[in-house]
Amino acid sequence: MNRKTLVILAVVIAVLLPMWFVALHGEPPSEEIAIDQSVSEMRPLEGVLDTPNKLSPSQVGVIVWIALFALFGTLVAAHRFMNRAVRPPDNEPAASGEPAADGGRVGWSWIDTDHRWVVAYHEATESIEGLAAMGALAVLAIVFAALFTGEYLTLARTQYFGIYAAGMFCSLALLTVAYYAWFVPHVEIAEHRGHD
């Protein structure tokens, strides 16, 4: 882990610890309100993890901040994966256009202008790993969608709507990341900027 990441984590922890300390002194959690088990066997409050039944506004605020930082970290990790994991190394020569019949290069008229041009172009890897990753993520998204639908249409004993929906949307988002990383060409464009 590099120094910049450690500094960012230290700042985040230094901000969140006092906030959580203040949040702990908010209103106490209330008692659980459950469905009468003699009438129905549904348990909507049951989940994978034991969670409090009621949170104070301060506690909700801290949890929202933690979720936002986690989302930001996830986006950074996905962006780094797309740009580094399957892209060619910097020392690999890059094409500056599409190959022509005479062995030369043909520029793209809609990109190449007097003030804008293609600096580097790398074909998509289109590897079998990318195809396997996309296939697995597509299957995972379908499975989570089926579980979500089944949970909605049946009288389930436990309710995992949030987990199934999160799994479905995360699978679809990762499917987009995998498509971009393995099946979209890498193009770098340079252009003159006027400062009149």
Average pLDDT over residues 49-76: 79
Q: Is the pLDDT of residue 143 over 70?
A: yes
Confidence of residue 100 (pLDDT cuts 50, 70, 90): very low
Segment 76-94, tens digit of pLDDT:
888 888 777 666 666 555 5
pTM above 0.75, yes or no: no
Q: Is the pLDDT of residue 98 over 60?
A: no
Average pLDDT over residues 82-110: 58
Q: What is the pLDDT of residue 173?
A: 92
Structure-token pair, residue 32 = 């659980």
Is the separation of the CB atoms in 31 and 53 below 8 Å?
A: yes
C-alpha count within 13 angstroms, C-beta hemisphere, residue 84: 6
For 81, list phi and psi in degrees, rounded to 5: -65, -45
Helix (H) / strand (E) containing 64: helix 57-80
